[in-house]
Chain A
Amino acid sequence: MKALLIASSCVLLAAAVPAVAGDAAAGKEKSKTCAACHGPDGNSPAADFPRLAGQHYDYLLRAISEYKSGVRKSAIMMPMVDKLTRRDMEDLAAYFSQEKGLFNK
């Protein structure tokens, strides 16, 4: 019974941890260009630019990938992400998702 409990809580824990492939520390290094509009920690000082801090990792990765593929259009964002590799995008998403900012509501 005890073993079952432990096993099932391990399964639950594993399910609760999001699959983050990026490296937040590397992402911080790569985020200097982003900081001008989104703020150094992803809490943008300007209302026109979204807060990224605390956003879900997979949502950030999706958004940035869509700018790169052209599915999502933005005259500002498209040239910014043009030169990013998949690894860069994962690192940036890991960094901004770990900062404090947005919350569930």
Chain B
Amino acid sequence: MKISSMVPVVIAGVLTAASVPLYAAEAGDPAAGERKTTMCQGCHGIPGYKTAFPEVYHVPRLGGQHAAYIVKALQEYKAGNRSHPSMRAIAAGLSDKDMADLAAYYAAPPAKTAAK
């Protein structure tokens, strides 16, 4: 009885583990991430800011983006699979921990960071 009642729990555990994205192995610290944003703020921190090179368009909004997706994007820039020159240069200098921290910071809702 006891074992059979645990079956759904085990299944849920397996499903949860399976749904954890590939790049989220490192746990991000939003406060540490905020301290690492000096390289990001000059473009991403200015509302309405546009890139000047290689083409002109608005730099993407990062606030509220999924942390796992931000890490994935940074890893792709670092690996050279995404093409923006500035982002490649910046991502090249980031460790897995840096990426996780930055992602945690940008993913956090506005209220949470405003309270700091």
Contact = CB atoms under 8 A, between A and B. Distances in A.
Given A48-B72, A50-B69, A72-B82, A59 B58 contact: yes
Interface in A61-83: 61-62, 66, 71-73
A46 to B, nearest CB: 8
Contacts of B44: 105
Nearest to B19: A46
Interface residues of B, number: 30
B61 A102 contact: yes
A55 B59 CA distance: 9
Interface in B48-79: 48, 55, 57-69, 72-73
B58 A56 contact: yes
A51 B83 contact: no
B61 A55 contact: yes
A47 B66 contact: yes
A102 B63 contact: yes
What are the nearest 5 A-B pairs in CB distance?
A105-B63, A56-B58, A47-B68, A103-B63, A102-B61
20 contacts: A46-B66, A47-B21, A47-B24, A48-B69, A48-B72, A50-B73, A51-B65, A51-B69, A56-B61, A59-B59, A61-B57, A62-B55, A72-B83, A73-B81, A102-B61, A102-B63, A102-B65, A103-B110, A105-B64, A105-B113
